Structure 1
Amino acid sequence: MGDDVNRTLPPDTSLEQLPFGKWLLKLRVVLRWFGFCVVTGVALALITVLYLKSKPLPPPQIGITTQILDAQARVIDHLNRGERRDPVQLKELPRSITDATLTAEDQHFYEHWGFSPKGILRAALVNLKQGRVTQGASTITQQLARNLYLTHDRTWSRKWREATLTSQLELHFSKDKILEMYLNKIYYGEGAYGIERAARIYFGKPARDLTLAESAMLAGIPRGPRWYSPLNDRQRAKARQEAILDAMVKNRRITQAEAEQAKSETLVYADHPQPQPAKAPYFRDYVLQEAISRYGLEENQVRGGGLKIYTTLDLNLQKKAEASFHRYLPKQELQGALISIDPGNGHIKAMVGGRDYATSQYNRVFSKRQPGSTFKPILYLAALENGLTPATRFESKPTTFIYQGGEYRPTNYHNRYAHRAITMGEALATSDNIFAIHTHLAIGEEEAVRMGRRLGIHSPLKPVPSLALGTSAVSPFEMVQVYATLANGGIHHQPTSILRIEDAEGHVLAGPRRQPEQVLSPAETFVMTHMLRDVFSPGGTGRRVGQIINRPVAGKTGSTDWDSWLSGYTPRLATTVWVGYDRGKRLPPGTSRHTHNIWGHFMKNALHGTSILHPRPPEGVAKVKIDPQTGEKATAACPNTKEVWFLSGTEPTQICKRHRETAPHVPSKEPSLWERIKKWWSG
């Protein structure tokens, strides 16, 4: 058959003249280019490998102490003092720790050359499905390169350097040596650097004696040292451990029986002293959280990157806050919290999260509790915007309120009622609950919710009648924003703890990003401030504070059966204090005295030596002398009068009817004797 084909083609026939000849020519060109590219690629790859193999690795970056500084650059704390490590050889470690680590971080570590295409694809698919970055694809070699040599910024240049260093590590070291370096370098939380320190800090034993259950627990921590530390959240850490054990079964590193036995093992954690920095420990922890969660830095970098974190804290004010707590908080189970900020910029100047950091690291500044009557200024600000005024009057007496959904019978503290109509100003000073409910229902329950949101409260607020009395739980961190906004003429600043973060070379990595917002008019805050000053006057619920501080202050007390609050301010400083029990337990009688003493003495000492600022009346306010009994414009005949500030256009114009002025009475003159005789004769 081949001879027949040859006879049918002329001897000078070209390839183009053959059937499919043009396609064959194109294929030949493609194959030539493909061959050229393959050869070139192999050559370049070989050259790159030889270059990376011949180029020595740079000396690794050893952890450098990070400093946290206050607003005057005074040291609050040093972090990562030397990164103590106890190196251990891979051959000394139990198989359980290497298997658990590989399962948790890089299942195909011994199969790839430093990069995992499957891991990259899997992470990409998961992130695409979630619509955000929820899973990374870094191998153990990549993590080691990053922890040894690089910062954790997300730039293309850093990623390129990471890829280069990862390749060099794979070329210069065996897989076992890379894994050994990783286990000795990685951070396990709680100040534990490397697997040997982690074993001793968490379980009080050398790494060679770790059980399978302990190994799986430790292997789960590096992915998020604060998040997965069993000393922070044992339930979350236990779930992570069990997931790793299940994955080890799936990868045939252990049997199902071994996994179940490890899951049922009771882990006994070692007793070791909790870190207790000498200065502002609760604030220190909050700053670390902000640096990681808000500014995107990784914990290894924060603790061992040689950073300088400049904060807003004033160590002088911090010492005064702590001294007030130690002096006036009884040595019982009672706990407390204090946060003080500069209203003009939102800078946190002092923070106390509890009575004793060594005993409890829980920061109660962020604990959510019922604020009681400290919520009422929010309600009355909403009322001012809805047409009510400081002279608006409601009856103060036992009242049953009918609303959609049922009846509500609030009471006043100790059943104290005026049994007459009182003004908004008097209701604030005496903390009258009946007046508050009248106001809340008159303007609509949603109005107080909206006002709370504007002033910085993000906790759920239920639009029910009892909201007026502060029954929706909020945190001191939220309440201090409300009062700081009042102190700052209606301009709201989100509380700020970090001024800037610098790396070891002095480059600024992060700084404040939030912008202030005008949420109230200066007129509204001016009117409210003048009403809140009466809280500390004789007859007000905070009169004890008025006896401590010899300067104008404004604020509000709040008491429930479980919580005692005081939030207040001057133009220079806004402070919120909470006192109560961590668990639901009724307060002993007189607890408010401790709260008032802590707040009053701290503010007195914090403001000592500063001048008294008297804000000028802004546009949009008017001062009128009223009769508090009637809420009307006072006359000279009114026995009691008070000068009150109003929003312009809402001030009373009606003259007091109860004490209306009349023409003066002129007594008649006694008639003389002659006039009496004359009248008798004529008459």
Structure 2
Amino acid sequence: MEEPVSRKAARTDSKPERKRKRGLFRKTMTLLFSCALLGVACLVVVALYLRSQALPVGTFSQPSQMYDMHGELIGSFQSGKNREFVPLSHIPKHLIDATLAIEDKRFYDHVGVDVRGIARSAVVNLQHGGVVQGASTLTQQLARNLYLTQDRTWSRKMKEAMYAVQLEMQLSKDQIMEMYLNDATYYGHSAYGVQAGAKLFFGKDVGELTLAESAMLAGVPKGPRYYSPFFDMDNAKERQELILSEMAAQGYITPQEAEEAKREKLVFMKPEKQSAIAQAPFFRDYVRRVAIERLGIDEREFDEGGIRIYTTLDLDMQKAAEEAVAKQLPADDELQASLVAVDPRTGYVKAMVGGKNYSDNQFNRAVADSRQPGSAFKAFVYLTALQQPGFTPVSRFKSEPTVFTYDNGRKTYTPSNFNNKYPDGPIDLREAIAKSDNIYAVHTIQQVGADKVIETARKMGVTSHLEPLPSLALGTFPVSPLEMASAFGVIANLGVRVEPTVITRIESHSGKVMYEAKPEKTKVVEPEYAYVLTSLMKSVFDPGATAGRVADLIKRPVAGKTGTTNTDAWMVGFTPELATAVWVGYDRDRNISSVESYKAAPIFAEFTERALEAVPPKLFPVPDNVVSVYIDPATGKLATNKCANPRLESFVKGTEPTEYCSDGTPTTGDGKDPQKKSGKSWWDDLKRWWND
């Protein structure tokens, strides 16, 4: 029986269509095969080309150099480079396995570039919205260290991949591993290669390392500043345990071996002491830290990339700082000191002493926020208060034993004055600052609010942890000398904060500018309030005040604030050109004696005078919105010729007293009628004439 015509026609019509599809498929497959063949041919050509090309001569490291603000050489790096080659056969298998587990688990499977690893890292980085996982193989790292700079550019990455493939073509995997462990691993402290690293940290040959020691050593090259046990034991231990876990997960060791190694107590060598003749060693360390951690300069490049680091240091001021500290601190005593000096106009750190003997102890106390500033913190309390309505230099509180309540009356705080000495009656702000009265300070912070004081401190550059408690007024929360010097610099600079800076410029070995500083300037306080506080803080150096003993040592206008706790002594002060913080104390929170507590001020005074000996004395500039009038200290009112002991006081215009202490002729301090010009006193005219 014949098929229906319609079905037969449909089948007949489909034959050309099937033929067309088969033809298209054959053409597509032919094209794909041709492309694949062409790709293979290209790869063969590239491979043959790369194999025929000689690798470049390995780059020779160049010492990097650091300069002060005048272009004087502070010092060179890489001067004591430590490297000792060892064959792969002398390197423990545990160390090789640890390196592979954490750095390049597919080392024996790729051809120098791990395509699968690149794809995996790309996915992880996309998921996290940033670079959290890299994909460089050990061969790429070796190629970079042998032939390239540390520049983060696409061209460098392409060259790195090309050289890595060439290395894989010309060397065996074991040869590459041997070169990597000897040439591409840097452990800090000028130690290169696993043998130098083993001796640096454990004082033994690399072949003698245990599993636990091998895992610890393998973790350091990722970032010696972060993972060296000499710098951060917590980070180093955490990374060692990660490596041991990875080794167990990848089958190099058993989980039990990993846990036993994690529990093994490691014994480290003491870090080698640097040369005693190195200039400004604490400053050098801090510059290195800033360059690597904040600016992203590769650590190895910093040491041996031939870069030039131009800094803010003044070597003459640095010498003055070191000698001032050495003069006051006995060499055979554990008493320590630190000093930081900042130019308030530029934010440049001009001198830094982190301790009295770098060769004995490298801990930089100048930048460590580990010491209570004591009464030096009161500057922030009073600057906050002066900006509040009704609070002026003649605001008065009665200084007597007082129990303060806070937290809605649920808690109490009972401060006391030094040696439990209290004045007979109310005192004003100038006397409170000069005598460092604690009761006045707590009254003030209770009135203006601790939160506002913290806000002021933050604006002025204090980043350390602070809490809104009454005791904040007495400096009970640790800060760093660098924070204090920079913050007091805001007062000296009439309320303008300039970000503290230690590096002005970094140039590559070829002269390319890698970094150039542009310190931010921000007005955080109106100039008239900064000046009024400066005027008040000059009284700290008056006879009988807390720094009165060193007044004769300073031959120029200066303001500041002392600070003393059971364990710390501070002197933080400034001239128009220089703000300096000095701390004296013991590292282990041992109490200081009354004699030791007075050492900070002489260090400050001697350093300030010597640092500025070539600079003519200069008065603090007076803002337009400041007026100076004679007041009666006993009442806080305007003085007349019938008031005893009149005192010239500066006020923000509009906040000066308007009432007189008694009937009589207004006084200028000498019993004569004042000369009034445009509503201003002769003192204002004299100061403006001097500054002009």
Tell me if TM exceeds 0.5: yes
CA separation of 1:84/1:437 partners in 2, compared to 1, >3 Å: closer, same or farther?
Answer: closer
123-132 or 351-360, larger mean C-alpha shift: 123-132
User: 1:55 corresponds to which letter in structure 2?
Assistant: Q
1:342-399: per-residue Cα shift (whole Å, max 9, x none)? 1110111111111211221111112222111111111111111112111111112222
Q: Which runs of 5 or more residues in structure 2 are unaligned?
A: 668-692
The residue number in structure 2 matching 1:441 is 446
The residue number in structure 1 matching 2:307 is 307
Q: Using the alignment, how far apart are the partners of 1:15 and 1:24 within structure 2?
A: 15
Deviation (angstroms), 1:444: 1.9
> Conserved in 1, the CA contact under 8 Å of 2:569 and 2:598?
no
1:44-100: per-residue Cα shift (whole Å, max 9, x none)? 211111111111111111221111121122222221126332222222323222112
The residue number in structure 1 matching 2:154 is 156
319-328 or 241-250, larger mean C-alpha shift: 241-250
1:496-528: per-residue Cα shift (whole Å, max 9, x none)? 111111111111111214311111122111111
Match runs of 1:418-437 below 5 Å: 418-437=423-442
User: 1:150 corresponds to which letter in structure 2?
Assistant: L
Q: Using the alignment, how far apart are the partners of 1:114 and 1:128 within structure 2?
A: 24
The residue number in structure 2 matching 1:323 is 323
The residue number in structure 2 matching 1:530 is 535
Q: Using the alignment, how far apart are the partners of 2:291 and 2:462 within structure 1?
A: 23
User: 1:392 corresponds to which letter in structure 2?
Assistant: S
For residue 546 of structure 2, the aligned residue among 541, 549, 565 is 541
Deviation (angstroms), 1:457: 0.7
CA separation of 1:640/1:98 partners in 2, compared to 1, >3 Å: closer, same or farther?
Answer: same
The residue number in structure 2 matching 1:493 is 498
CA separation of 1:144/1:9 partners in 2, compared to 1, >3 Å: closer, same or farther?
Answer: farther
510-519 or 574-583, larger mean C-alpha shift: 510-519
Q: Using the alignment, how far apart are the partners of 1:427 and 1:94 within structure 2?
A: 68
CA separation of 1:144/1:589 partners in 2, compared to 1, >3 Å: closer, same or farther?
Answer: same
550-559 or 154-163, larger mean C-alpha shift: 154-163
> Conserved in 2, the CA contact under 8 Å of 1:63 and 1:83?
no
The residue number in structure 1 matching 2:99 is 101
Q: Using the alignment, how far apart are the partners of 2:578 and 2:522 within structure 1?
A: 18
Q: Using the alignment, how far apart are the partners of 1:246 and 1:230 within structure 2?
A: 19
SS in 1 for 2:145: helix
Match runs of 1:563-602 below 5 Å: 563-602=568-607
SS in 1 for 2:506: strand
Deviation (angstroms), 1:283: 0.6
Q: Which runs of 5 or more residues in structure 1 are unaligned?
A: 663-683
The residue number in structure 1 matching 2:398 is 395
Deviation (angstroms), 1:327: 1.1
Deviation (angstroms), 1:256: 3.6
Point out the structure with max Rg over C-alpha.
1
Q: Using the alignment, how far apart are the partners of 1:84 and 1:363 within structure 2?
A: 25
Deviation (angstroms), 1:625: 0.9
Q: Using the alignment, how far apart are the partners of 1:412 and 1:362 within structure 2?
A: 33
Q: Does 1:47 align with 2:49?
A: no
Q: Using the alignment, how far apart are the partners of 2:45 and 2:30 within structure 1?
A: 22
Q: Using the alignment, how far apart are the partners of 1:34 and 1:228 within structure 2?
A: 50
User: 2:310 corresponds to which letter in structure 1?
Assistant: Y
> Conserved in 1, the CA contact under 8 Å of 2:626 and 2:650?
yes
Q: Using the alignment, how far apart are the partners of 1:292 and 1:658 within structure 2?
A: 68
Q: Using the alignment, how far apart are the partners of 1:143 and 1:126 within structure 2?
A: 21
Give the CA RMSD over aligned residues.
2.4
Q: Using the alignment, how far apart are the partners of 1:378 and 1:498 within structure 2?
A: 28
The residue number in structure 2 matching 1:245 is 244
For residue 69 of structure 1, the aligned residue among 67, 70, 88 is 67
Q: Does 1:625 align with 2:630?
A: yes
Deviation (angstroms), 1:470: 1.3
The residue number in structure 1 matching 2:467 is 462
Q: Does 1:506 align with 2:506?
A: no
The residue number in structure 2 matching 1:375 is 377
> Conserved in 1, the CA contact under 8 Å of 2:557 and 2:620?
no
CA separation of 1:82/1:626 partners in 2, compared to 1, >3 Å: closer, same or farther?
Answer: closer
1:96-126: per-residue Cα shift (whole Å, max 9, x none)? 2211211121111001111223433443344
TM-score of the two chains, using structure 1 as the length reference: 0.91
Q: Does 1:349 align with 2:350?
A: yes
For residue 88 of structure 2, the aligned residue among 78, 87, 90 is 90
Deviation (angstroms), 1:17: 4.4
SS in 1 for 2:74: strand
Q: Using the alignment, how far apart are the partners of 1:425 and 1:14 within structure 2?
A: 112
Deviation (angstroms), 1:488: 1.2
CA separation of 1:597/1:15 partners in 2, compared to 1, >3 Å: closer, same or farther?
Answer: farther
Q: Using the alignment, how far apart are the partners of 2:148 and 2:546 within structure 1?
A: 58
User: 2:233 corresponds to which letter in structure 1?
Assistant: R
Q: Does 1:269 align with 2:250?
A: no
> Conserved in 2, the CA contact under 8 Å of 1:338 and 1:351?
yes
Q: Using the alignment, how far apart are the partners of 1:416 and 1:309 within structure 2?
A: 52
> Conserved in 2, the CA contact under 8 Å of 1:312 and 1:499?
yes
> Conserved in 2, the CA contact under 8 Å of 1:445 and 1:464?
yes
The residue number in structure 1 matching 2:523 is 518
Deviation (angstroms), 1:612: 0.9
Deviation (angstroms), 1:659: 7.6
> Conserved in 2, the CA contact under 8 Å of 1:339 and 1:575?
yes
Match runs of 1:216-235 below 5 Å: 216-235=215-234
Q: Using the alignment, how far apart are the partners of 1:452 and 1:96 within structure 2?
A: 52
Q: Does 1:289 align with 2:301?
A: no
CA separation of 1:270/1:82 partners in 2, compared to 1, >3 Å: closer, same or farther?
Answer: closer
The residue number in structure 1 matching 2:136 is 138
TM-score of the two chains, using structure 2 as the length reference: 0.90
Match runs of 1:143-222 below 5 Å: 143-185=141-183, 186-222=185-221
The residue number in structure 1 matching 2:559 is 554
Deviation (angstroms), 1:139: 0.8
Deviation (angstroms), 1:132: 3.3
Deviation (angstroms), 1:272: 6.0
Deviation (angstroms), 1:127: 3.4
SS in 1 for 2:566: coil
For residue 34 of structure 2, the aligned residue among 30, 33, 36 is 36
Q: Using the alignment, how far apart are the partners of 2:262 and 2:379 within structure 1?
A: 53
The residue number in structure 2 matching 1:678 is none
400-409 or 96-105, larger mean C-alpha shift: 400-409
Q: Does 1:612 align with 2:612?
A: no
User: 1:448 corresponds to which letter in structure 2?
Assistant: V
Match runs of 1:462-481 below 5 Å: 462-481=467-486
> Conserved in 2, the CA contact under 8 Å of 1:317 and 1:349?
yes
User: 1:610 corresponds to which letter in structure 2?
Assistant: V
SS in 2 for 1:273: coil
CA separation of 1:198/1:445 partners in 2, compared to 1, >3 Å: closer, same or farther?
Answer: closer
SS in 2 for 1:227: helix
564-573 or 217-226, larger mean C-alpha shift: 217-226
User: 1:292 corresponds to which letter in structure 2?
Assistant: I
Q: Using the alignment, how far apart are the partners of 1:474 and 1:405 within structure 2?
A: 28
Q: Using the alignment, how far apart are the partners of 1:625 and 1:582 within structure 2?
A: 46
User: 2:89 corresponds to which letter in structure 1?
Assistant: K
The residue number in structure 1 matching 2:421 is 416
> Conserved in 1, the CA contact under 8 Å of 2:215 and 2:240?
yes
Deviation (angstroms), 1:261: 4.3
